[in-house]
Structure 1
Amino acid sequence: MRIFELGILDSQGEPPIPDTTPPASTKSPSLSLPSELICLVLDFLPPRDQETLAAVCKVNRQWYLAATPYLYRYPKITSLNYTKFVTTICPSNTHVNPSRFGGLVKRIDLSRIVHDSTPSLNAKLLHRTQVSLEEFVAPQAAFGYAALVAVRNCKQLRLLDLSLVSQSIKLESLFQHIQDLPRLVTFYFPRSSTLDHGKSTFNWPPRLERFSLAGRIGDSFLINTCLPSTLHELQIAHCPFVKDTSININYHIPCLGFNAFDKVLIICPHLKKLTIAVDYVSAHLFDEENSPSGHPLRWLDLESSGNPGVEKKITPDDVFIAVAEERLSELRVVRASKRLGWEEENSRRMMMDLNELLETRAEEMGETGAGVWNFESEYSGKCEAFRGFLR
């Protein structure tokens, strides 16, 4: 009986040597409970608590059999235990000697793996877990064409994160292998993706809801590609070759103007949550022509890079007027970066008035949680300037 072979970290942060021997027999009577009851107990454990689950596997054979599926669902994979994990899941180069653990794995996160893997090993790992795999985070290196082909067969995949991949992947090949994934909901583009100039339209996965675009894409992709109607969330960042004239919703690009996002509420009439950098908007964002009456926006985050001159571009009064005039009547939460100076004496009174207005509107509708908050900004020049939730 193989007790545990993932090589989880011990209390000192080092992976213990896997114990491949059966639990030592003792003279005390073994603990015997109905398997259903053991599973109910295991359901109370955090699903990613590998240390506890590994200890449970060593109680006796009954607990081992019950806890093994929980243990392999979300393995912690590092450079120190990667080889042991692959050996456990893929004991041979063919399916002649299959592993019963492969069908238990739901998430493979190789973000901590840099130089320890190879494209063939990662492809083999995907093949052996394709029946159950729901989430896959690719490593920075060693994600080649063979691994991309293997992804195509993971029909249960819900999240595919290629954001760390450093190799160039042709978009035509990428979409060819992900377009038929029936359950894919979240997809992160590789940062170094390239575009085949001969093709600019692609078939998207049928249920895609969250998409992060990055890499060396050109204007033609943004101009000619129609985003799927199922999309709820869109992020664009790390796109050095894209100009603001090629997209309707603009992201952190050096050539953006100071008011590039002023019409975002017109462009996105169903937007409910908006995180935006004041570097690219002006107070005209809240004017009548840019914030239509009855817009459903409920949550507004105002970020700031801290660059000189941007901290006074938007005041609490700008938001207050739009809410009071029923143009943003659904707005309930406003969060502003401390870099905007809303806590300073000149703006604090306006912020309190806005907070009172939001709370009053919420009480009238029987709602709670409305108000105005300040937060420490995490914005940097490399962060996305906009993140919209479309539904």
Structure 2
Amino acid sequence: MALDQQSNWDADMADNLRQVTSKHKQKSQHSIATSSVRPTPFKPWTKPPIYLPDEILLQIVSYLRNQQASLASCAVLSQQWYSATVPLLYAHPNLHGPNFAPFVAAICPSINLHVRPSRLAKLVKTLDMRRMVHEVSRTSTARLLGRTKENLEAFVAPQASFGLNCLPALSKCQHLQALDLSLVSESPPLTELFRTLERLGELRVLRLPRSAGFGVHSKRAETAALVWPPKLEDLSLSGGIDAHFLHGVVAFPQTLKALTIEHCPLAKGFAVVHLLKTAVRKLRNLEKLKIAHMPRLSSRALDDILFLLPQIRDLSVSVDYITPALFDEGHYSHLAKEPYNTFSHLAQAFDPNPSSLLDPDEFTGEAEMETPSLKTHALRTLTLTSSGNTGLEDKISPIDILIALDEGSLPNLRVVRAAKALHWHSNATSADAEALADGLKEAAKRTYLRELGKDGVEMVEGEHQAWEEGVGVWVIEG
């Protein structure tokens, strides 16, 4: 009896196993069959698409201003989307190796402009060719400038394909506002370059090439006769400029508001200080100055820069060339007693071996400078950078600036930016940096209340935002 019952159980289990296996096979076959079926294609539109007013469409595509791939996709949707998108697509093209040839074909469909002009050329406002190295020739650069000249506002020249033949086309870019030639490896002749720049009546920003001929091979008469663009506001000098250029050869335009001097391996400390004293000090509209990467400057070459330039509101200087004397009122009082405008004083202070090309007679008879004072200086933003040399971490500390604030110096200082390499964020100096930030905020608050006539009055909630925004100590790269 037991054997019969056991055999029945075995038969039932075998039957159940066959059923489960059969169901599993059926499900597998069904899934395979359904996966092999192609998806049903979308039905074509039977009604016209919803119409959007041009104003709304322009507002939509404005959010894609810097996304070229998305703009290109939108341009193929319809004629209306094309009209709204293409001006943004070509206004500021992001040029690189793969897309440069199609861009040139669109802008210059024919070598002869009169045979086959391009309506797209008038849409280009920024021509940034900084990443073009081997993909472009000087002829192509000149042709692109010639085609886009009507509305071009900014041009960044490529390293190897900008030459003398590009200047005629560049001179016709009458709406050009920013010109960056800093990457050009072989600069055109200086006189020819400035004849072109003189015709750019709307130019505001200029980055001269590092290979520009401001050096020993330039004739003094030719260099002195150079004419700057009439509306120039932001100028960057770099490269092979030396004492010939820095020693009074150049006269900057009075329209200048920002000046950058960097990457000048031939410039000595004495010549740089003399340039600040004679040419830069006269620029009453100058608000921003940056000096960095000047390997021949000594460790205290620019300690007098605030004394020389009382009008500067934004100063960026490498700690390689300054000491805490920069913030010491007593240091400037000492300078006022010295014959600061004499050649001998400058030579001893900044360069033990001044260039023989500098004529001492040219310094005689100059009027004495006004008494220097840090208590009336216009400086609002101070940026301390580093060249990367070791041993500079302790050269300038937050306490040096905080002491100056406590003494009433630099009353307008609100923002201090320090390079990460100075380690102001480390455990050793973070507390000092926070104390400096508090000091800057207190100074900003006092000034704000004084301007409103609320001395001694408590501020209402939310009123602090008017003076506290941006004030403090910030760590930056560099």
Question: Which category describes the TM-score, using the shorter chain as reference length?
Answer: 0.7 to 0.9
Residue from 95, 107, 110 that aligns with 1:77: 95
**1:148 counterpart = 2:172:** no
Q: Report the counterpart of residue 223 of structure 2 in structure 1.
A: 200
**1:56 counterpart = 2:80:** no
Q: Report the counterpart of residue 268 of structure 1 in structure 2.
A: 309
Residue 51 to residue 272, structure 1, CA distance change in 2 (3 Å): same
CA distance in structure 1 between the partners assigned to 2:81 and 2:254 by the alignment: 46
**1:369 counterpart = 2:469:** yes
Residue from 198, 210, 215 that aligns with 2:239: 215
**1:337 counterpart = 2:378:** no
Residue 315 to residue 36, structure 1, CA distance change in 2 (3 Å): closer
Instruction: Report if the CA contact (8 A) 1:332-1:358 is conserved.
Output: yes
Residue from 282, 297, 309 that aligns with 2:379: 297
Instruction: Report if the CA contact (8 A) 2:203-2:229 is conserved.
Output: yes
Q: Offset at 1:143?
A: 0.9
Residue 28 to residue 214, structure 1, CA distance change in 2 (3 Å): farther
Q: Report the counterpart of residue 407 of structure 2 in structure 1.
A: 325
Instruction: Report if the CA contact (8 A) 2:153-2:177 is conserved.
Output: yes
Q: Offset at 1:214?
A: 1.6
Q: How does 1:85-164 map to 2 (within 5 A)?
A: 85-96=103-114, 97-164=116-183
Residue 181 to residue 89, structure 1, CA distance change in 2 (3 Å): same
Residue 140 to residue 302, structure 1, CA distance change in 2 (3 Å): same
Q: RMSD between aligned alpha carbons?
A: 2.3
CA distance in structure 1 between the partners assigned to 2:430 and 2:89 by the alignment: 52
Residue 307 to residue 138, structure 1, CA distance change in 2 (3 Å): closer
Instruction: Report if the CA contact (8 A) 1:194-1:215 is conserved.
Output: no
Q: Offset at 1:253?
A: 2.3
CA distance in structure 2 between the partners assigned to 1:71 and 1:306 by the alignment: 40
Q: Report the counterpart of residue 200 of structure 2 in structure 1.
A: 181
CA distance in structure 1 between the partners assigned to 2:236 and 2:303 by the alignment: 22
Residue from 185, 203, 226 that aligns with 1:166: 185
Structure number, greater radius of gyration: 2
CA distance in structure 1 between the partners assigned to 2:391 and 2:54 by the alignment: 65
Q: Offset at 1:144?
A: 1.5
Q: Scaled by the length of structure 1, what TM-score is found? A: 0.83
Q: Offset at 1:375?
A: 2.2
Q: Report the counterpart of residue 9 of structure 1 in structure 2.
A: none
1:34-63: CA deviation from partner (whole Å, max 9, x where unpaired): 3343223333x2422211211111111122
Instruction: Report if the CA contact (8 A) 1:136-1:161 is conserved.
Output: yes
Q: Offset at 1:356?
A: 2.2
Residue 341 to residue 137, structure 1, CA distance change in 2 (3 Å): closer
Q: Offset at 1:374?
A: 5.2
Instruction: Report if the CA contact (8 A) 1:351-1:372 is conserved.
Output: no
Residue from 250, 255, 267 that aligns with 1:242: 267
Instruction: Report if the CA contact (8 A) 1:358-1:370 is conserved.
Output: no
Q: Gaps spanning 5+ residues in structure 2: where?
A: 1-42, 277-290, 333-372, 449-463
* Structure with the higher helix share, 1 or 2: 2
Q: Offset at 1:168?
A: 3.0
3-state secondary structure, aligned to 1:88: helix
3-state secondary structure, aligned to 1:81: helix
Task: In structure 1, give the amino acid aligned to 2:473.
Answer: W
Task: In structure 2, give the amino acid aligned to 1:373.
Answer: V
CA distance in structure 2 between the partners assigned to 1:41 and 1:352 by the alignment: 44
1:283-320: CA deviation from partner (whole Å, max 9, x where unpaired): 11111144522211111122234544432222323212
Instruction: Report if the CA contact (8 A) 1:338-1:374 is conserved.
Output: no
Instruction: Report if the CA contact (8 A) 2:436-2:473 is conserved.
Output: no
CA distance in structure 2 between the partners assigned to 1:348 and 1:68 by the alignment: 51
Q: Report the counterpart of residue 359 of structure 1 in structure 2.
A: 441
Q: Offset at 1:247?
A: 2.2
Q: Report the counterpart of residue 8 of structure 1 in structure 2.
A: none
Q: Gaps spanning 5+ residues in structure 1: where?
A: 1-24, 379-391
Q: Report the counterpart of residue 251 of structure 2 in structure 1.
A: 226
Aligned length: 353
Q: Offset at 1:271?
A: 1.1
